Amino acid sequence: MRGFKAFLLRGNVVDLAIAVVIAVAFATVVTAFVKDLVTPLIAALGGKPDFASLYFTINNAKFLYGDFINVLIAFLIIAAVIYFFVVVPYAGLLARSRKEAPADPTTKKCPECLSEIPKDARRCAFCSSPQPA
């Protein structure tokens, strides 16, 4: 029981639980947005007042494809919002934080033979010419 309690109280489990609760609340808001605003707007352009009322029947079985269209639109909006407001800024932040200053060079080119030699060398290892200080 102690191990289970330690597992539940770890930071990442609590963070994950909070993220799931917020995601469910966010999905409810987006679903309402799609149902109440986007679907009527698209339906007004297409001539149908509500997608949820679209269905077809086969052998007395109702197939609610209009409701599926509403859910699909909600999914696409959620995916777009997450991509543009979470993924893109996070990737940009990571890219900016990963930029490192270039390291000081440890080698230089010999002015005589153009070979790579250590920066502090006094003579070239390849042509034995003296190097400027």
- Tokens representing residue 117 in the block: 């030699």
Of 56, 54, 51, give the one whose Cα is nearest residue 39.
51
Integer Cα distance of 65 and 82 in angstroms: 26
Give yes or no for a contact between 65 and 54, defined as CB atoms under 8 angstroms apart.
yes
Each domain of the chain, given as residue ranges in start order, spans 2-98, 104-133
- 9-21 pLDDT, tens digit per residue, is 776 777 788 889 9
At 101 the three-state DSSP class reads coil
At 34-72, the pLDDT tens digits run 778 877 777 777 776 567 788 899 999 999 888 888 788
Q: What is the structure's pLDDT at 48?
A: 64
What is the CATH architecture of 2-98?
Orthogonal Bundle (1.10)
Q: Could you tell me the pTM of the whole model?
A: 0.49
Q: Which pLDDT score is estimated for 101?
A: 64
Nearest to 113 by CA among 100, 127, 103, 102: 127
